[in-house]
């Protein structure tokens, strides 16, 4: 069985919520309509609702028929600054924004599970359904933790889920240890001396230094880090200059570092600084570095990872649960919840991901075929942690 019968009956409702959310995308900490819709639905399910955590976050508290521990189930609910290229009826009605990561689907799945759990309450303990803002870039997960998520609600373990294009439809993948990478950003400012482009010897050229620097930074992964430690250093922006015949005073480079280990992050920060200073010295200019650690790696604790795997296996069978997937160099702010409490983050296969249906693509749309599988997974997690009474 891959879908619980009670959840299968909710499919039409869940698709309706999902399409409504997709048509009304809201980005980081501005999920006002989304948050109000979630709160309204949870109240209509008879669930105790707490709003305003990290501004737009919502927590629903579902008490079982018998006392027991607290478990947290988390969905993200923010959209992205991506102009949508789809033309179907539920396309984004907000120019420049869209649900290109499937958080509309994550929200609908958790709403479906919440409705079912509130109707049955056949478990010993309490379920907190956590709807989190600003997963993309802005660390809504950290904001929820800082706003007292775990003080206000005595959640002992916490579970997260992401739809995963490229993984077979309805399959699951989870591993103990790192599942997704850390997310650091850096900005290097190269200050030279502007000059006429025809007379470079009269200035100090920041552009040639920038070009050398992009190449040199690639040696951090190939020559500084242990070959068995995963790391990516990507320069994603180069800014400098305004016209054809002027060597600009300044060039600015920005980029991101991904890793699974704080030692590797330390190494990257130290080497980016040294390499930038060294290149700057070579060309007689100055370099400044801003290095910011945004998200820690998403690391699954052994106990919750076992429970997540057992829940997925109970639902779809062992042959559809990969217990040793390759970690992703992508990042996820569920990591902040996992730093506060032991947790497990699982991927739910969304199918081949062809024809633009990859995460963050302007042609992406959440695959509605997995709504009921995801909601059933949440119910199975509750069964695994809190049992059935």
Kindly state whether residue 21 participates in binding Zn ion, applying the rule CB under 5 A. no
CA terminus-to-terminus distance, the chain: 21
Of residues 64 and 72, the one with the C-beta less far from Zn ion: 72
Of residues 76 and 205, the one with the C-beta less far from Zn ion: 76
H or E stretch at 53:
strand 48-53
Q: How far is the C-alpha of 240 from the C-alpha of 179, rounded, in Å?
A: 37
Of residues 241 and 356, the one with the C-beta less far from Zn ion: 356
Least separation in angstroms between CB 137 and Zn ion: 9
Binding part of the chain for Zn ion, among 98-106, 124-132, 140-148, 149-157 by CB under 5 A, reads: 98-106
Say how many residues touch Zn ion, by CB under 5 A: 1
Q: Hunting for tokens 């396309």 — which residue is that? A: 91
Of residues 206 and 256, the one with the C-beta less far from Zn ion: 256
Binder of Zn ion out of 54, 59, 98, 101 (CB under 5 A): 101
Of residues 140 and 192, the one with the C-beta less far from Zn ion: 140
Sequence length of the chain is: 389
Of residues 101 and 280, the one with the C-beta less far from Zn ion: 101
Kindly state whether residue 350 participates in binding Zn ion, applying the rule CB under 5 A. no
Q: How far is the C-alpha of 10 from the C-alpha of 70, rounded, in Å?
A: 25
Binding part of the chain for Zn ion, among 67-75, 101-109, 253-261, 379-387 by CB under 5 A, reads: 101-109
Kindly state whether residue 174 participates in binding Zn ion, applying the rule CB under 5 A. no
DSSP 8-state symbol, 320: G
Q: How far is the C-alpha of 385 from the C-alpha of 197, rounded, in Å?
A: 68
Q: Hunting for tokens 């609702």 — which residue is that? A: 49
DSSP 8-state symbol, 136: S
Kindly state whether residue 109 participates in binding Zn ion, applying the rule CB under 5 A. no
Q: How far is the C-alpha of 88 from the C-alpha of 94, rounded, in Å?
A: 14
Binding part of the chain for Zn ion, among 22-30, 96-104, 228-236, 273-281 by CB under 5 A, reads: 96-104
Helix, strand or coil for residue 204?
A: strand
Task: Give the footprint of Zn ion on this chain (CB under 5 A).
Answer: 101
């Amino acid at each position: 069985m891959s879908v619980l019968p009670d959840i299968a009956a909710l499919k039409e409702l869940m698709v309706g919520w999902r399409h409504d959310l997709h048509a009304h995308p809201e980005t980081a900490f501005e999920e006002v309509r989304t948050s109000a819709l979630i709160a309204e639905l949870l109240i209509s399910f008879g669930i105790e609702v707490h709003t305003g955590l990290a501004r737009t976050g919502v927590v629903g508290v579902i008490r079982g028929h018998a006392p027991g521990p607290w478990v947290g189930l988390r969905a993200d609910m923010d959209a992205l600054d991506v102009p949508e290229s789809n033309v179907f009826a539920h396309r984004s009605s907000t120019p420049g924004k869209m649900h290109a990561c499937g958080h509309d689907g994550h929200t609908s799945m958790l709403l479906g599970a919440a409705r079912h759990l509130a109707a049955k309450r056949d478990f010993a303990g309490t379920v907190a359904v956590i709807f989190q803002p600003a997963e993309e870039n802005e660390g809504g997960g950290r904001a929820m933790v800082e706003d007292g998520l775990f003080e206000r609600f005595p959640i002992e373990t916490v579970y997260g889920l992401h739809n995963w294009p490229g993984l077979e439809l309805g399959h699951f993948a989870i591993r103990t240890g790192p599942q997704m990478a850390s997310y650091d950003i850096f900005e290097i400012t190269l200050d030279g001396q502007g000059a006429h482009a025809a007379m470079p010897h009269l200035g100090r050229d920041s552009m040639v230094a920038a070009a050398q620097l992009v190449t040199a930074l690639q040696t951090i992964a190939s020559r500084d880090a242990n070959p068995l430690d995963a790391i990516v250093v990507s320069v994603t922006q180069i800014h400098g200059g305004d016209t054809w015949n002027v060597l600009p005073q300044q060039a600015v480079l920005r980029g991101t570092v991904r890793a699974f280990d704080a030692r590797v992050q330390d190494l990257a920060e130290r080497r980016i600084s040294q390499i930038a200073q060294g290149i700057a010295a070579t060309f007689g200019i100055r370099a400044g570095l801003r290095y910011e650690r945004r998200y820690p790696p998403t690391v699954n604790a052994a106990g919750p990872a076992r429970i997540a795997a057992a829940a997925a296996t109970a639902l779809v069978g062992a042959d559809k649960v990969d217990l040793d997937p390759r970690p992703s160099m992508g990042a996820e702010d569920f990591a902040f919840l996992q730093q506060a409490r032991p947790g497990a983050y699982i991927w739910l296969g969304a199918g081949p991901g062809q024809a633009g249906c990859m995460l963050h693509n302007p042609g992406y749309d959440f695959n509605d075929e997995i709504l009921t599988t995801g909601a059933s997974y949440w119910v199975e997690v509750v069964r695994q942690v809190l049992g059935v009474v």
